[in-house]
Amino acid sequence: MNADICVIGSGAGGAVAAAELAEGGAEVVLLEQGAAHDPDDFSARPPEMLARLYRDGGQTLTLGKPPMLLPLGRGIGGTTLVNSGTCFRTPAHVLERWSAEFGLELDEASLRPCFERVEQALSVAEVTPELAGANAAVARRGAERLGWSHGYLSRNARGCVGSGVCVFGCPTSAKQHTGITYIPRARAAGARIVTGADVREIVLERGRARGVRARLSGGRALEVRAPLVVVACGAIHTPLLLARNGIGGGSGQLGRNLSLHPATAAFALMEERIDMARGVPQSFYVDEFAAEGIMFEGVAGPPGYAAMSLPLSGARHARAMARYRDLAQFGLMVSDSSRGQVRSLGGRPLIRYDLAHEDLLKFRAGLARLEELFLAAGAREVYLPLPQGVRPEQARARDLKLMAFHPLGTARADARPSHGVTDGELAVHDVEGVYVADGSVVPSALGVNPQMTIMALATRLAMNLLEKAPAPATAARGAPHESESEAACPS
């Protein structure tokens, strides 16, 4: 199978790159390790959907103090299929840091057209108070009484009815994940999409890419011959694929610099009917303490989810679940100073990540403020994710019940080959023709959900690559329309 460009992965980076490249006239083959999921099969039952839509059934684990679950989507759409749909642009101060510390020529002005392009494709809009539901109203009431900065989140959804199960597969296909936005565009423009393709090798000749070899689910071998390869397997699996092929290791940074957003959540028993599963789970935020690396965002789910998440046991758990309809929940996410590492052990990822003391202090402060938020909103009881009797200011790392989201940085971009795996154009430093378009290139914590950052960078990369694609294929399709060319998203 021949192509101008082979894209590996169909999540926030890969699907965007494939669609933009195919619409720009390039011959594209996209390889996805997982399956294509039928939304008609989305049951909203957490155990069933975790097994079907998540890598390792949602049980990917970091090793360290404390260990954390790191849920990753698997299949067409990647983690965009199972995230909450929250859409933040890259904060300006983060872009300024990237310029000063990593030599990346990125700023708000240059990325704005890319963000606008993605937002239009995803139907990004702010959640309405009605759709946000009573769970968000609790947080809003508390924030207003305390005078804390807050607002409704923007999401990639169209026709949302507030099913409340975003992370278990949207049963109405309202969430505009890449599997129903960019992948159909890529296919319509002629891209060939291959599922069940486990990529084993990036073929190199004389230091430049010549294609990709994969094993299909039935055991057959597949080779895609292409002079350009875009790796978009995510921050956990991209460094493993590159390392297995001896690519990107020159700086010593491959697989290192893993940044996460460690997160937790608290519940509150209210004197009012909440029905947290009705409405958009992640619809509201409190950013009063964002400069300190502390962000509060909505989180909620059906009874099965609440039963797994409620930080109680025994009779206390049973009593709280009996009042499920009166429970509210809100999440705490930390912009980390900690850094981890990903390496291979027996062909599988080994993720090491220890919470730095600086981040422990953020959780102590964040949990105290989250309790304050609920009490200000009129909570009867607040259930913090800590052992019974432990107050936030006393919490140790091992006391925290954390999950981790948004892995970044393991093939970080840096203009200097000695300091990064990819350059400012997302090209791998030590080979020609290999690019990376996923969270692994993001060189630092964002403090906000990274979906839009990854998509905007993938859009920018695609526009640049269209200039590099071999002329015959591009000419055969015709030049891209103005709305599809680099003029729409300048490099």
pLDDT in tens, 290-328: 999 999 999 999 999 999 999 999 999 999 999 999 999
* Average confidence (pLDDT) over 129-157: 97
62, pLDDT greater than 70:
yes
Strands 5-8, 228-231: pairing kind: parallel
Q: What is residue 41's three-state secondary structure?
A: helix
* CA separation for the pair 418, 478 (Å, rounded): 40
Q: Output the pLDDT for position 473.
A: 45
44, pLDDT greater than 90:
no
483, pLDDT greater than 50:
no
* Average confidence (pLDDT) over 240-249: 97
**pTM confidence score:** 0.94
Q: Output the pLDDT for position 472.
A: 44
* Average confidence (pLDDT) over 148-166: 95
Q: Output the pLDDT for position 217.
A: 86
Percent of the chain with pLDDT over 90: 93
* CA separation for the pair 84, 164 (Å, rounded): 10
Could you give the domains of the chain? 1-55+71-123+170-254+409-491 (3.50.50.60), 128-157+259-338+356-401 (3.30.410)
Sign of the CA dihedral 374, 375, 376, 379? positive
* Average confidence (pLDDT) over 150-160: 97
Closest CA to 409 of 372, 443, 379: 443
Beta bridge partners of 350: 343
The token pair that represents 120 in the structure block: 């239009």
Q: Output the pLDDT for position 489.
A: 64
Beta bridge partners of 148: none
357 given a catalytic annotation: no
The token pair that represents 411 in the structure block: 């093939």
Answer whether 246's CB lies under 8 Å from 30's CB: no
Q: Output the pLDDT for position 469.
A: 59
122, pLDDT greater than 90:
yes
167, pLDDT greater than 50:
yes
* Average confidence (pLDDT) over 244-256: 97
Catalytic residue among 177, 237, 261, 406: 406
Q: Output the pLDDT for position 279.
A: 94
Q: Output the pLDDT for position 491.
A: 41
Beta bridge partners of 208: 205, 432
End-to-end CA distance of the chain: 30
Q: Output the pLDDT for position 488.
A: 46
* Average confidence (pLDDT) over 263-285: 96
485, pLDDT greater than 60:
no
Task: Lowest mean pLDDT of 40-44, 226-230, 246-250, 381-385, name the range.
Answer: 40-44
* CA separation for the pair 144, 150 (Å, rounded): 8
56, pLDDT greater than 60:
yes
Q: Output the pLDDT for position 235.
A: 98
* Mean pLDDT over each residue of the chain, to the nearest integer: 94
* Average confidence (pLDDT) over 385-413: 97
475, pLDDT greater than 60:
no
Task: Lowest mean pLDDT of 179-193, 220-234, 425-439, 460-474, name the range.
Answer: 460-474
The token pair that represents 387 in the structure block: 């052992």
Closest CA to 434 of 260, 243, 259: 243
30, pLDDT greater than 90:
yes
Q: What is residue 386's three-state secondary structure?
A: coil
482, pLDDT greater than 80:
no
* Average confidence (pLDDT) over 188-196: 98
